[in-house]
Structure 1
């Protein structure tokens, strides 16, 4: 199948951040698609092909942790990287307890993000 490669989905209400991460992913040879909200991502046909989800915690309507939890309840276990401009120990603990594989405070460096994505894609392959 030509479209069987997993997608790295980026969900961030800051379009500039989402686009920057999408460009970085593509420069690394990965398929990537940016979304402005959790709701937009949930309606997307790319949902079933998503191998890794990078999601901002602080978004209107549905925050990143809520999106991760909703996907889990729907039976869609997508390895998730939670990013946030407002880090807190409480959110970090809740995220890791919920099964988020990486928690990255903004600004993060590219190598940390790429390591998280590689872990996510490796985890997906092993399932």
Structure 2
């Protein structure tokens, strides 16, 4: 485990933020939560984030747009996407080159943790 790894979680659902914060902290990660993609970008934490978990569909800037904004800044953070909607949104595969993982809510927490570990091993 990468105990000192910083995981950023971006989701407009407060319950999901609290749930993932608790889960990831229980496994020894440092967690930072953001209620929107813009809040994450405004915080300026890109350089200090080892892995990003982002909801796909959020008001304002969606998770895919966040991914694109980070790529435009040359901030290639390993990214896992989560969604409450069934199926991939239109053009997801064309716009997201290398997602570390894609999970529909509710998701298997062990699969999510394993995916985070793989992403951290690969790094940026």
Same fold (TM over 0.5): yes
Distance 2:29 2:5 in 1: 8
Say which SS state the counterpart of residue 41 (structure 1) adopts. Answer: helix
**Root-mean-square deviation (CA), in Å?**
1.9
The question of 1:42 aligning with 2:41 is answered yes
Asked if the contact 1:10–1:21 (Cα under 8 Å) also holds between the matched residues in 2, the reply is: yes
In structure 1, list runs of 5 or more residues that go unmatched. none
Q: How many residue pairs align between the two structures?
A: 121
Distance 1:31 1:95 in 2: 31
- Residue 24 of structure 2 corresponds to which residue in structure 1? 25
Distance 2:6 2:39 in 1: 15
Deviations 1:47-89 (A, max 9, x none): 2110100000110011111101110111000000000011314
Distance 1:95 1:121 in 2: 24
Asked if the contact 1:54–1:81 (Cα under 8 Å) also holds between the matched residues in 2, the reply is: yes
- Pairwise CA distance, 1:36: 0.1
- Residue 114 of structure 1 corresponds to which residue in structure 2? 113
In structure 2, list runs of 5 or more residues that go unmatched. none
- Residue 13 of structure 2 corresponds to which residue in structure 1? 14
TM-score w.r.t. the length of structure 1 is 0.87
After alignment, is 53-62 or 41-50 more displaced? 41-50
Distance 2:75 2:55 in 1: 18
Say which SS state the counterpart of residue 45 (structure 2) adopts. Answer: helix
Structure of higher RCO (CA pairs closer than 8 Å, 6+ residues apart): 2
TM-score w.r.t. the length of structure 2 is 0.89
Moved over 2 A (4+): 89-93, 95-98
- Pairwise CA distance, 1:112: 1.0
